[in-house]
Amino acid sequence: MDRLEASAIDLPGVEVRALERCTSTNSLLLAEAPAHPVLLAAHSQSAGRGRRGRRWYASPGYALTFSLSRAVRRPTRELPGLALVAGVAAVQALRSLGARAVALKWPNDLVVGEAKLGGILVETRWQGAATLAVLGIGINWRRDAALELRLRRPITALERLMVLPGRNRVIERIGAELMQALDVFDEHGLEPTRRAWEQLDAHAGRRLRVRLADGRLISGVARGLAEDGGLRLATAAGVRAVHSGRVVSSRPA
């Protein structure tokens, strides 16, 4: 198995670190709050997290996990768009490496069809006049049969989609795309990325059932993103934007 090597990940302007094991790369960078961009990769995490406090399951050697921290200067109301920006950057990087089937599931999943390949967790904290954004990315690297049984839902792994390059190369490519995408977001907000996200949407034009943050279920046909990054659904009562929830099912409209 190829090892993580910070010296093998070339990201100009970014300090790169690699650990054998840690609790959570996101948690470590949030606690440190570095004043310059840092990418922290770990071979394994004992307390990896997903959205809304869910645990990120990953056995050592079966997943690719890292976080990138840097300052952003957009207004607080625009920060939810960071997960969408990171998703586009990650998918574009993976497609450029040969995994051309990877797409996006709102708001923060990387998918192939209905199978989950990875996820993104964005966390922020104030840092002077700017906001420190920590973008955590977890990708299933190799098939983990035990994990498939535990989760009881479709998942896939990068080894099923391409001839695996080294871990360091994949992290470097995604990191470079992330830094470029964050530069654009800092300068222009979500709009330049919104159309790119819609082109990568795995559920475009499909009928979705979405569980809202309060537990209610709504259904409608996916119609892309609202200007603020909400998921636009064409429902029986008209088009509405969902800002907090998760897609629980998808079928042709």
Q: CA-to-CA distance for 67 and 182, rounded, in angstroms?
A: 14
Span 142-158, average pLDDT: 84
pTM of the shown model: 0.93
Assign 19 to helix, strand or coil: strand
pLDDT digits 0-9 by tens, 204-239: 999 999 999 999 999 999 999 999 999 999 999 999
pLDDT digits 0-9 by tens, 40-89: 999 988 876 655 556 665 677 889 999 999 999 999 999 999 999 999 99
Give me the domains of the chain, ranges plus CATH numbers: 6-199 (3.30.930.10), 206-252 (2.30.30.100)
Contacts 24+ apart (CB under 8 A), 23-30: 23/47, 24/48, 24/49, 24/136, 25/65, 25/66, 25/67, 25/136, 26/67, 26/121, 26/123, 26/134, 26/136, 28/67, 29/67, 29/69, 29/134, 30/69, 30/123, 30/125, 30/132, 30/134
Q: CA-to-CA distance for 69 and 82, rounded, in angstroms?
A: 12
